[in-house]
Structure formats: C-alpha cells, structure tokens
Amino acid sequence: MKLTHAGISAPSAWVTRWAHLLRPGARVLDLACGSGRHAAWLAARGHTVLAVDRDADAIAGLPAGVTGRVADLEQGTWPLAGEAPFDAIVVTNYLHRPLWPHLAAALAPGGFWIHETFAVGNETVGKPSRPDFLLRPGELLEVARESGLRVVAYEDGLAEVPKTAFVQRICAVREVAAAADAPAPPRYRLDP
Ligand SMILES: C[S@@+](CC[C@H](N)C(=O)[O-])C[C@H]1O[C@@H](n2cnc3c(N)ncnc32)[C@H](O)[C@@H]1O
C-alpha cells in the first residue's frame, strides 16, 4: 500500500475527492480511524479532527494535530453522545450497522457524510467476506434517504485500486432546511 511521507497509508481517493466540500476549519470525526490516514490528511488541511478507534496503539500513534479517543463503537453506549455535531464524518473500511442512527444524529446541518467500505461480492475476491462487513446493493443510498441526507455522489462496484475489492462509496449532506414546496438546487461543487 502506498505510504505518505509520515509512513501512514495514503488517504482514500474517495475522501480526497470530496474533501473540498468541507468548510475551512471544519470539525471532522474519523470513525474507526486505524492509523489515522484520513485524520492526518484532514488535519494537515486545517480541519479539527477527532479520531476514534478501539485500538489504543493506533490512537497513541496518531500524529500531532489530531485528537484521538480510544472507544469501542460496538459495545455499550454511543461514546460520542456528549460531542457537538460534526461538519463531516468520515468512515472507511468499517461497517457496524447499529451505528447508522448515531452517525445521522452526529452530523451538523450542512455536514457531510463520507463513507467507503466493502460490499457484497467482496467475498469472491478476498476479505472481508462476512455478510456483517459487506454492504448490500444500494445500502448506503437507503441509509442516506432514511437519515434525511441528500446524496452528492455514490458509487457501487469493483475497484482495482488500492486492491481488488467490491466497494460502495457515498458522499451525502445534511442540508440546511429548505422550504418543503421549493426543493433547493444542488449547491455542492463537484469539482475541487
Ligand atoms: C480496516 S481498519 C480501517 C481503518 C481506517 N478507517 C482506514 O481506512 O485506514 C478497521 C478499523 O476499525 C477498528 N475497529 C474495529 N472494530 C471496532 C470497534 N468495535 N470499535 C472501534 N473501532 C473498531 C479497528 O481497530 C481498525 O482500526
């Protein structure tokens, strides 16, 4: 896997693709951050990043400028209940379906949800292969709709980079309330 100069894996092209939508100094949550490749990349761009993982060694290794928190996202209560809403939530290569309502609630008005992880079909090419870890066709779109988010971009297919994998990817936004009878036109720049 390609490494950055700090020895951390390069950020996902999906995350970098949509990061231009974040306002300067955005408050970002990197959930199940691992080594912090996205936390580090976003912090280097001036965002305020909270990175959460259950792996204490990974959190201890986060670069300066990233706030880390050790927490198990699958046991007990939602560990970020006391946090102010986030301007963006980034999740990559991680899936725990009971978290959907918490993610939606943690997103501030105008905030972006950027999620990329493995999808059904991946069991034919490698790991993860357990259904618990694989998105069903259209699942991220359904979650966005049920959470009241507007989809900016979505992909579902076979990727070859950084490795052969079936993935789903979404970038969705919690729009600032618009008049119900006058749907707002999209305001999100597709180009950086
Ligand atoms: C495949 S790694 C992805 C890391 C990072 N998001 C990335 O794409 O580079 C999955 C991460 O989820 C974390 N994780 C798995 N189960 C977790 C849990 N119950 N609570 C918090 N973190 C968890 C692991 O420790 C690991 O760092």
Please tell me if the CB atom of residue 72 comes closer than 6 angstroms to any atom of ligand 1: yes
Range of the domain at 115: 23-173
Is residue 184 included in any domain, yes or no? no
Q: Which helix (H) or strand (E) holds 141?
A: helix 139-146
What's the rounded mean pLDDT across residues 26-46?
Answer: 98
pLDDT at 3 over 60: no
Is residue 125 included in any domain, yes or no? yes
Is residue 14 included in any domain, yes or no? no
pLDDT at 119 over 80: yes
Is residue 79 included in any domain, yes or no? yes
pLDDT band at 176 (very low <50, low <70, confident <90, very high): confident
Is residue 8 included in any domain, yes or no? no
Is residue 122 included in any domain, yes or no? yes
Q: Could you tell me the CATH number of the domain that includes residue 75?
A: 3.40.50.150
Q: Which helix (H) or strand (E) holds 53?
A: strand 48-53
Residues 6+ apart with CB under 8 A from 102: 78, 80
Residues 6+ apart with CB under 8 A from 136: 119, 120
Please tell me if the CB atom of residue 54 comes closer than 6 angstroms to any atom of ligand 1: yes
pLDDT at 169 over 80: yes
Is residue 185 included in any domain, yes or no? no
3-state secondary structure at position 27: strand
Instruction: Give the C-alpha separation, 15 to 10, whole Å.
Output: 11
pLDDT at 182 over 90: no
What's the rounded mean pLDDT across residues 27-34?
Answer: 98
Number of domains in the chain: 1
Of 9, 49, 52, 54, the residue with max ligand 1 atoms within 8 A of its CB, to mutate for a pocket test, comes to 54
Cis peptide before 128 (omega within 30 of 0): yes
Residue 138 CA, ligand 1 centroid: distance in Å: 22
Is residue 162 included in any domain, yes or no? yes
**Stretch among 10-14, 62-66, 141-145, 180-184 having the lowest mean pLDDT:** 180-184
**Mean pLDDT for the chain?**
94
pLDDT band at 180 (very low <50, low <70, confident <90, very high): low
Please tell me if the CB atom of residue 33 comes closer than 6 angstroms to any atom of ligand 1: yes
The two structure tokens encoding residue 122: 């991946």
pLDDT band at 2 (very low <50, low <70, confident <90, very high): low
Nearest CA to 58 out of 66, 41, 98, 76 is that of 66
